[in-house]
Amino acid sequence: MSDPTNPHIKERTTPQWGLYQRENFWRQNEGTTPLFNTGKYYASSNAGMSNTHLANRQAFYRHRLIPNQLIDTNNRSTRTKIFDHSVSAPIGFAPVGINKIYHSAGEAAVSKVASELNLPYCLSTAGSTSIEKVASANGPKGTRFFQLYMPHDDELTVSLLTRAWENGFDALILTTDTWQLGWRHDDVALSNYAFYRGFGADMGLSDPVFLSRCGADGIDPDVDVVAASTKWIDSIWHGRAWSWEKIPWLMETWRGISGGRPFVIKGIQSVGDARRCVELGVEGIVVSNHAGRQVDGAVASLDALERIAEAVGERIYVMFDSGVRGASDVVKALALGARFVFIGRLWIWGLSIQGEDGVRHVMKSLLADMDILMGVAGFNGVEDFNRDILGRSCFCCDVRMAADFEMQSRIRRITRSYHRRICEWKTLRDGCCF
């Protein structure tokens, strides 16, 4: 499952980033290796009390795979298509900003690995590497999409979209849940906002329209990069929400620039919003709660997916992210109606610990994990993943079996006084306590 040419295999010195699935692997190294520095807090912080983050993981534990036996899986394949692109697996690199706070190689290294593995790469507007440099690293054969935090400056928006299209980003993903950052207490307590320290503005500092805006305000990025970075992040995370009325303009603008390439909305969590996307003619949606980083106490992304896919899955391309930690999670999301799954924190952890090699190892491990799971569970292709392969479990009764030790302790605290009473109710709730 690891690269057989890796010298760590023979020497039995595989570093902890080999434990790609486990959220507690950075816990095991804490105090010995500074895994993320300030990036650790940004990558691991969640909104409020982390209840949405917890709900995301609970939802995956509640659904259990039902393996099939004596199935010939010798010719199995993880391959699929996304927006006319043939890719290695229904797995993509989710848009994550300011990669250089995790490793100096930044987005260029990540997009390079994505191309090597033939997986789609999504570049965030909050990236710490320019559109042009990321495209160059991703190469002419890479599948790449551009994620937009839409400014309240139409000329700047058009400039970003034009640059993205001219550099081979052929789908646009509008994120609708982050006009401003959620209340992430760890970041607030540490004043951990890299943008106000001069990181993460590369997208703006390489944009002619944004540079003209800086000039008009008397800001010279070469002299005061912090002021320029502050202006950039205040342009895209501006705290002023858009409404549905703006979507037709953005769709028309993107389609005019790209010749009609797909337009996607990311952050959908309600059936009503999903239906609105269908009515507007949006090509795709990403069911996502931003990995629990925006709204505390929100619905689990997987639970939202189940309802949304049932309502609109036949009429729009449904994708998913939030809370994925391994191949079984990917399969569960696909079985519940997603056609594609995006991964964020897994490869960020790899990038943080080992740079480009860490990203490569984590994602190759995930692909190997999925291939092996399909082989031993009796699945030959992604078309085999449907609701018939899923069962449900009483989650609170299974908490001792959870691999995520951090989550175990939190659940025990929450359920200790109610555990007996809740379990008595489970027969009234389809055999599941939660």
The residues annotated as belonging to the active site are: 290
Q: Which element (helix H / strand E) includes 42? A: helix 38-44
Rounded to 5 degrees, what angle do the CA atoms 330, 186, 352 make? 50
Q: Annotation-wise, does 345 bind a ligand?
A: yes
Say if residue 147 carries a ligand binding annotation: yes
Q: Is 324 annotated as a binding residue?
A: yes
Between β-strands 340-343 and 317-320, what pairing exists: parallel, antiparallel or unpaired?
parallel
124 marked as binding residue: yes
Q: How many Å apart are CA 143 and CA 228, to the nearest integer?
A: 31
Separation CA 423–CA 434 (nearest Å): 10
Q: Are 133 and 106 in contact (CB under 8 A)?
A: no
95 assigned to a ligand binding site: yes
42 annotated among ligand-binding-site residues:
yes
Q: Annotated binding residue at 321?
A: yes
Other Cβ atoms less than 10 A from the Cβ of 352: the count is 24
Known binder of ligand: residue 288? yes
Cα separation of 208 and 362, whole Å? 36
378 annotated ligand binder: no
Q: Is 191 annotated to bind ligand?
A: no
Cβ atoms of 92 and 339 closer than 8 Å = no
At residue 82, what are phi and psi to the nearest 5 degrees?
Answer: -140, 120
Annotation-wise, does 282 bind a ligand? Answer: no
Q: Which of 49, 30, 32, 50 is nearest to 40 (CA)?
A: 30
* Residue 294 CA: distances (Å) to CA of 20, 189, 206, 215: 24, 17, 28, 33
Which tokens go with 217? 């305000």
**What is the Cα–Cα distance from 289 to 226, expressed in whole angstroms?**
30
Query: According to the annotation, is 290 in a ligand binding site?
Result: yes
- Is residue 350 marked as binding? no
Per the annotation, where are the binding residues for FMN? Answer: 95-97, 124, 147, 175, 266, 288, 321-325, 344-345
Annotated binding site for glyoxylate: 42, 149, 184, 290, 293
Annotated binding-site positions: 42, 95-97, 124, 147, 149, 175, 184, 266, 288, 290, 293, 321-325, 344-345
